[in-house]
A and B are shown apart, each in its own frame.
Chain A
Amino acid sequence: MNTPTDDSNSQLRYAEYVLGVLDADARAEVERDMASSEAVATAVALWQRRLLPLIAEAAPIEPPEYVWHRIRHQLALDASPAVARPADAGTARPRWWNALRFWQGLGLGASLLAAACLALLLSSHKPSVTPPSYLASTITQGNGQVGWTATVDLNHQRVVIVPTRPQAIARDRAPELWLIPEGQRPIAVGMIGGDAPVTLPLDRRLLASFGPGAALAVSVEPPGGSPTGQPTGPVIAKGLLDTSGAAIHVPLASPAHPLDT
């Protein structure tokens, strides 16, 4: 390995790597050297220590609540970790990270209450299962491409459905979203957009139907929706809803629109 760390060219390379100006190939090269040489790793770490404090200048932005839910689901963490409660008043709060507004947007007490009510509501279907607060689905077209992503917000009883790219739908037709409980007939959820995100409310009957094995589907219908209450046009996309809460399917393109408005 020809990487003497006292060489000023190498030093510059590591600094450039940490700053972020190298292209993908050069970055990969530095990372390989870091993995194989303790000296290189130490030199890079030193530059990280020098330059990283600059992130204090990035304005903090509260991430949408559902990001944490997705992380928790993906890691199959317990349903009620400490993030569900603010830290004890006595806990030191790092001012540097300026995270004080986190709880204001979260409204967690209300969310927990809603989740508890929903658990009661669903308990007749599947006892002793606490449903996750969010369900996600990627609704895939026949060609294997994801047409829409859906995020079901059980607490707020609504679903946000986002096209991953503009969908070509005939002028006098419109896409309609259906919930298909396992082994049952489709239930109309509502009309959705071919090129814009749509939020649809979920009534009690729909909420109660989000059991294991449920799927979402999109069919092409007349503009006002299917006249029969069942899909009349072709089903152009379909996706399973992960209701286990253990390993939720992460949408390829997550909704850019926070569920809380």
Chain B
Amino acid sequence: MPPHRTPEQNLLDELLAKTASGDQAAFAELYRLTSPRLYGVCVRMLRERGEAEEVLQEAWITVWHRASTFDRTKASAGTWLGTLFRNKAIDRLRQRREQLLDDPELMNHLEDEDPNPADGAEQTQEYLRLRECLDQLQPQQRRAIREAFFSGVTYNELAARCQVPLGTMKSWIRRSLLQLRTCLDL
């Protein structure tokens, strides 16, 4: 059963469904409305605009071809798109993993404690709920989850970035994920 969605979310669902039937105007509108956020995610993950542009382009081509697999009873358009774009970016990151590991500047990077919280205009019910649950985690673990989500890097690299042993990072993340599930599914 799909959760309640706002009119804005419904519009995106509608546009994606129309894209599936080859509606170019709907596709263009979907692009216009969602690209800044999706591009922002790609830039944050890849840290390089040229590559983020390539991923953005590739992912939108995929959206056009695979929109028919979108099922609004299973996911919102936002979740569907976000998943597709993050997956493309993660694939790209895995391809250049070694190069990243060699870059000391990237290795020393750590997300700030205050992770650019979404402003009032963007606070969907789902996001607010997630943030509430994230706030219940230990600060270090909360930070590790955000760093993992927005960097898209593997456990190994995540541990190196946060300067903790691999085992520690794994147990932080796993415990946090289980805690999040318990909190979110309440």
Please report A residues at the B interface, Cβ cutoff 8 Å. 8, 11-12, 15-16, 18-24, 27, 42, 45, 48-64, 67-68, 70-71, 74-75, 77-78, 81-84, 87, 91-99, 101-102, 250, 253-256
Contact = CB atoms under 8 A, between A and B. Distances in A.
A22 B8 CA distance: 33
A95 B177 contact: no
A159 to B, nearest CB: 17
A61 B57 contact: no
Contact of B82 (A55, A64, A87): A55
A19 B177 contact: yes
Nearest to B39: A63
Contact of A95 (B8, B57, B153): B8
Interface of B: 6-9, 11-12, 24-29, 31-37, 39-41, 43-44, 48-50, 53-54, 56-57, 60-61, 64, 74-76, 78-79, 82-83, 86, 90, 94, 97, 115-119, 121-124, 126-127, 129-130, 145-146, 148-156, 158, 173-174, 177-178, 180-181, 184
18 contacts: A11-B181, A16-B177, A20-B86, A52-B86, A53-B126, A58-B41, A59-B116, A62-B35, A63-B35, A67-B53, A67-B56, A83-B32, A92-B8, A95-B8, A97-B36, A98-B122, A254-B50, A256-B48
Given A23-B94, A75-B61, A254 B54 contact: yes
Contacts of A256: 48-50, 53
A101 B149 contact: no
A81 B28 CA distance: 7
B29 A48 contact: no
Contacts, number: 211
* Interface residue SS majority, chain A: helix
Contacts of B148: 19-21
Given A20-B151, A82-B25, 7 more contacts: A11-B181, A20-B152, A54-B127, A61-B43, A99-B35, A102-B36, A254-B57
A101 B36 contact: yes
* Interface residue SS majority, chain B: helix
A83 B9 CA distance: 19
Given A21-B153, A58-B41, A102-B36, A15 B56 contact: no
Given A62-B36, A256-B50, A15 B127 contact: no
Contacts of B8: 92-97
Contact of A102 (B32, B54, B173): B32
Contact of A22 (B64, B74, B154): B154
Which of B26, B83, B116 gathers the greatest number of chain A CB atoms within 10 Å?
Answer: B83
Given A45-B74, A61-B39, A256-B48, A12 B9 contact: no
Contacts of B180: 50-51
Contacts of A91: 11
A82 to B, nearest CB: 4
A54 B79 contact: no
A17 B8 CA distance: 28
Contacts of A24: 94, 97
A54 B146 contact: yes
